Amino acid sequence: MKITSAEFVISNTDVLKCPNSKLPEYAFIGRSNVGKSSLINNLTGKKKLAMVSGKPGKTRLINHFLINKNWHLVDLPGYGYAKVSKTEKKKFQRFIESYFEKRHQLVNAFVLVDLRHEPQPLDLEFMQWLGVNAIPFSIIFTKADKLKPKAAEKNLATYQEQLLTHWEELPPYFVTSSQTGQGKEDVLNYIDNINQSLIN
Cβ neighbours around 93 below 10 Å, total: 12
Q: What is the pLDDT of residue 44?
A: 92
What per-residue confidence (pLDDT) applies to 95? 75
**Does a structural domain hold residue 68?**
yes
**Which residues of the chain fall short of a pLDDT of 70?**
51-60, 80-92, 200
Q: How many helices (H) and strands (E) does the chain have?
A: 5, 7
Residue 186: its pLDDT value, please? 97
Query: Buried b / exposed e across 15-51, counting CB within 10 Å, b at 16+?
Result: beebeeeebbbbbbbbbbbbbbbbbbbbbbebeebbe
Tell me, yes or no, whether 161 lies in a domain.
Answer: yes
Q: Look at residue 73 and tell me if it is in a domain.
A: yes
CATH number of the domain at 176, please: 3.40.50.300
The boundaries of the domain holding residue 178 are 6-199
User: Integer distance in angstroms from the first to the last C-alpha of the chain?
Assistant: 17
Report the domain count for the chain: 1
- Contact criterion met (CB below 8 Å) for 81 and 57: yes
Q: What is the pLDDT of residues 48-93, one digit of tens each?
A: 787 644 444 445 688 999 999 999 999 998 776 555 556 655 666 7
- Residue 41 domain-assigned (yes or no): yes
**Do the domain assignments include residue 65?**
yes
Q: H helices within 49-181, ranges in order?
A: 86-102, 121-132, 149-163
Q: Is residue 1 part of a domain?
A: no
pLDDT of residue 91: 61
At 78 the pLDDT is 77
